[in-house]
A and B are shown apart, each in its own frame.
Chain A
Amino acid sequence: MGTRGIGLTFLLALAALASAQQPQKTPVKLEGTVINSVTGEPVPRVLVQVMGRAMLTGSEGEFSFSFDDLPTGMTSVVQLTKPGYFAPGAKARFPSPGSTSVALGPDTGKVVLKLAPEAVITGRVTGPDDEPLEGASVQVLAYMSVNDDGPPRLLPVRGARSDEDGNFRIAGLSAGRYYVTVRSASINRNLLGAQTAETNQAYPPLVYYPGTQELSAAALVDLAPGQRLEVPFSLSLLPAYKVSGTVIAVGEWKRVNPPMILDGAGQTLFAANTFDSKTGAFEFRVMPAGNYSVRLSGTDPQDRSRFFDHKIAISKPVSGLKLVLKPGLDIPVVIRADFTNPRQEMHGHCTSSLPSGGVQQSDCSDYPKAQVELIAADATGLRFTTDYGPLKDSQVFGIHEVAPGKYLVRARATFGGYVQSVRSGSVDLLQESLAVAEGGTVMPIEVVLRDDSATLKVAVRTEKPGGSGAIVLYADGAPLLPPTRWGTASVGSYSYLGGLAPGSYKVFAFDSLDGIDFARPDSLAKYASHAASVTLSPNHESSVIVDVIHTGD
């Protein structure tokens, strides 16, 4: 909830602005009401913040500000906050207070601002014979773009524990699509004198609504603002077995960790009950029947964390299970810099710390000219990158110990130029993902850099008040990676985007990026008709004018 006082810097900037303009003698007013975006009813007691002022609306959602000494025609951001409400359009992220841009001036009539009500999920967790289960951990998960690059990750948004009657309630959810899960590890099952027969049964560790252990069969619940949804869970006891074996670590490892069971999103469910790091012997005392992903992990002599996943199916007691932990694949990376422009010698200044302590300084010519990152194509958020730091002759430059899987590849020029192509063998990694198979080989990744980059001059245009747009660039030639954001341009001024690879692009300008999920490839598709298309040529500056897209409409 945005309740921090406005920063002093902001206040000073405002003050400087105020005193720099010619002050109007008539006070500028901003009046309006806040309504519920679903019902249209006024929302009482909303915190309205504008231009450093704050007030609570009345019982009819009405507010009124009067500013002396403020120029007219200014636009300002109005921030609305109220527990249980969000900005309309905030989708399945950690929701933020609502904010809109409003022009201040004698022509601004009473404004009507909207807030979307939260959705609430309630339910009951029961066991066999409708016995209420207390202490079950219920979580609501959503796909969220975390770094705005790479595929969205499946992460918990909110959670609650079931009470003595098995009931739970999760509020504070913005509109969106969610999975609802129950984890049974925390269920209060303190059974006095439990017999062996009873401890040979357990609830499944993770159940997705409507009652499956597999993510692929789980229901994505679509919540609308203000919706109340009932989500019951009826858990059955499964036969549980003792699973024991040894972790066999191939190669050099500084430390090997106990095996862990993961859920479909790569989160840990539970670890082995016992693990001997010297012999690798492990035991899961009570593992319910089912299919699992077991993660073996450890630290290599270079202090890097590495892991290896195995799939196992449990339907009876298992002993002597051998799980192999081996380092992943090393993928060499070859960088070719086809620089044609006359360039000055690199006068960069790079500093790196030495393992022996102390620092090493250089002009950066011994640093790799590009950085390559592999981003897991599924929702686990795994990444592998090329090493930083100066290149050592003896060492092969590349990405080390990559776990098997499918990856999106992102290459970035680090000291000038742009990435023209990224290939592995015959695979164009700007268009396709990289498949790393267990025990297979991967052709070295070849990155070609060029320095005949293009520049794009962008102007934004809009009819509505609030004259600025956040610029988003979508490269037609690189569909795999999410579109890039280039800051905000104001009406009346230009933004210069440099170092771009020549090619064709779609340019978007949005009034607000809140409702857009960048990690989804189709997130921009519906706005495509409002984008400007432009083709950039090497060593050339192009211009484009883009209409601001108002996402609230």
Chain B
Amino acid sequence: MLLKTTARFLLSLATMAVACGTSAQQAAPPAPPSRDFVISGTLVDSLSSQPIAHARVAIAPVTKRNDFTTVITGEDGVFSFTNLTPGKYALTAQARGYLLQSFNQHDQFASSIVVGPDSDSRQLLFRLPPTCAIAGIVTDEAGEPVRDAQVSLYFTGLSAGTDVTQSRGGTTTDDQGAFHFGHLAPGHYLVAVSARPWYAQRPLDLPATVPGDPAVRSYVESLTISQSALDVAYPVTFYGGATDPAAATTLTLGPGDRVTANITLQPVRALRVHLSKDVQGTRAFLQGSILGGLSLPVMTETHFSGSGEQEIVGIPPGRYTLTTNEVGPVSTREIEINASGEIDQNQGIVYVPVSAKLQFDPGTKPSQPYVQLLNKKTRVVSSERVGDEGEAVFKQGVPPGTYEVSINNAPGFYLKNIFAVGARVTGRTIEVRSGATVKLAISAARGQGEIAGIASHDGKPSAGAMIVLVPADPAHNQVLFRRDQSDSDGSFTLPQVVPGAYTLLALEHGWDLAWTDPEVLKNYLGRGVAVRVQPNGKYEVKVDVQ
């Protein structure tokens, strides 16, 4: 995680001016150099601008990030570190009710504080955003609380330059049907509930082997009829009452917001499916699937008949991934279940088996590399470890789609070339089609490059700008992007760059942009700096802030 940059005295003054309207201090020239190097300032709530007391504020040199010096703020929220050696320091704060943050943090980047004769690191205004929370109560169709319901939280919105929906964990309701998600960052969220009606009955299907005596048969039938009325299930229900994720109500949380999200569940007739012989496996496993690939718990049950046939009961209508495994291969498919019946080989979208063989440049091999496939549409990443022989097998397969291939956990190495059988390759992107079997041959080479430089505006160094390195053909090479935040002296570093052709951009307000979108980028590329990175190359670049 990159934690970098610094704030200049001017920058912090400007921030104070924005917060308070007028400032008691004018834009004064830097204070005369003093022998005692100090980092000091006030920690305030980013919403109310009130000082935060009893907070922990810590500094650590960027060269030794675990070497902390900590102070606890008093009622005035003031922190002060004295007798410092000149250098760059990471400044971080932690307080109850607030997110743990570094100074001027954006995504995983932040501003380091430069301490030395030429900079003033006093009277910094450190704004900490209060955390948000979502709490609610789940009730059933009779208004009674639903206990032990699984509640899942999703973050939806811009994250690292792309519009995503990501899981943020889950919890279970208590006896009052209550759930609570705390320590949340501001943003947009979806809440989904998955539960099983506590009174649900799952009558057994009457097999043909019940004695044919009609009196007996009709008696047994009359018993199962009463249970069938209770053979119900709750569909996955989102906050707002929708059972279709596309119609779900988004909860928008600003800093410090504590939002209530109550959800009522309505039962529907439960469906049951049995697996045809060609789909039978030693184990069938059903998971809810929403929003293109995010999985959700479902509370279904599995019955086995005398002949070993498997039936899954208690299914609410919806979209699912069904995984069955024979003794050998695993088969996963996405299916829509809207009616009871049989599932056979032809139904649903079957995941495509993918295997990869990785070849490394002669020399030291990384110990535990991973091959990753990033689904361009759903943004879901599938990751598989590379064995000692260089093989990686995606056991469950992947849904058909377009994927960007990359290697991970292999410091110093980059993906040089991909050859594919059963999929079309464009650069590092592969197109996986239904029914194919994909075999990839990947060669990995050593020698990532590094770019360093200065970002400036009107000839003066520019701090806090978002530096982004855009690869040629950005649409197909998202994993090649690199980012940084410029320091107080305008400097930045981009390590671990995969050799290739790039355009370097410096964007003042880049943090709020969908910068992975080529449509957005094309407005800025014209004024960027072209850099061609060779293996192990090191470059110094000057770039103008846009």
Contacts and interface: CB of A to CB of B under 8 A. Distances in A.
Interface of A: 1, 3-8, 11-12, 14-16, 18-19, 44-45, 47, 51-56, 68-69, 81, 83-84, 118, 120, 132, 160, 163-164, 169, 171-172, 190-195
A5 B70 contact: no
Nearest to A81: B199
A118 B94 CA distance: 40
A44 B70 CA distance: 57
Interface in B208-247: 210-211, 213, 215-216, 219-220, 222-224, 226-227, 229-230
Interface stretch (B174-182, B406-414, B512-520): B174-182
Nearest to A129: B54
B68 interface: yes
A19 B223 contact: no
A54 B201 contact: yes
B400 to A, nearest CB: 38
B275 interface: no
Given A3-B201, A45-B142, A56 B230 contact: yes
Interface in B304-332: none
15 contacts: A12-B211, A18-B216, A18-B219, A19-B213, A19-B215, A45-B144, A51-B223, A52-B226, A55-B230, A56-B230, A83-B147, A192-B70, A192-B92, A192-B100, A193-B56
Contact of B223 (A52, A56, A118): A52
B72 to A, nearest CB: 10
A160 B201 CA distance: 29
A163 B180 contact: yes
B331 to A, nearest CB: 29
Contacts of A45: 142, 144, 199
A118 to B, nearest CB: 7
A164 B58 contact: no
A5 B58 contact: no
B226 A12 contact: no
Contacts of B215: 19, 69
Contacts of B204: 5, 7-8, 11
B219 A69 contact: yes
Interface string B136-180: 000000101001000000000000000000000000001110001
Interface string B452-492: 00000000000000000000000000000000000000000
Interface string B69-81: 1100000000000
A193 B220 contact: no
Contacts of A68: 222
Given A14-B219, A52-B227, A193-B92, 13 more contacts: A5-B227, A6-B227, A7-B204, A8-B207, A12-B220, A15-B219, A45-B144, A51-B223, A52-B223, A55-B230, A171-B174, A171-B175, A193-B70
Contact of A3 (B100, B174, B198, B224): B198
Interface in B59-114: 60, 68-70, 92-94, 96, 100
B144 A192 contact: no
Contacts of A51: 223
B365 interface: no
B10 interface: no
B451 interface: no
A53 B223 CA distance: 6
Contact of A54 (B60, B94, B183, B227): B227
B200 interface: yes
B122 interface: no
A163 B183 CA distance: 11
B203 interface: yes
Q: Which 7 A-B pairs have the closest CB atoms?
A: A193-B68, A171-B175, A193-B58, A193-B70, A52-B223, A192-B94, A53-B226
A52 B182 CA distance: 45
B70 A172 contact: no
Contacts of B211: 12, 15
Contacts of B224: 11
Given A171-B174, A192-B92, A83 B223 contact: no
Contacts of B220: 11-12, 14-15
B202 interface: yes
A488 to B, nearest CB: 24
A16 B217 CA distance: 10
A192 B199 contact: no
B216 A15 contact: yes
B274 to A, nearest CB: 16
Contacts of A16: 216
Contacts of B58: 192-193
Q: Give the one of A15, A44, A118 with max B CB within 10 A.
A: A15
A1 B175 contact: no
B198 A1 contact: yes
Contacts of A18: 216, 219
A314 B182 CA distance: 37
Nearest to B100: A192
A195 B66 CA distance: 12
Contact of B174 (A11, A169, A190, A191): A169
Given A19-B213, A192-B70, A6 B183 contact: no
A459 B384 CA distance: 67
B148 to A, nearest CB: 8
Contacts of A56: 199, 230
A83 B227 contact: no
Nearest to B144: A45
Contacts of A160: 174
Interface string B373-410: 00000000000000000000000000000000000000
Contact of B202 (A4, A84, A171): A4
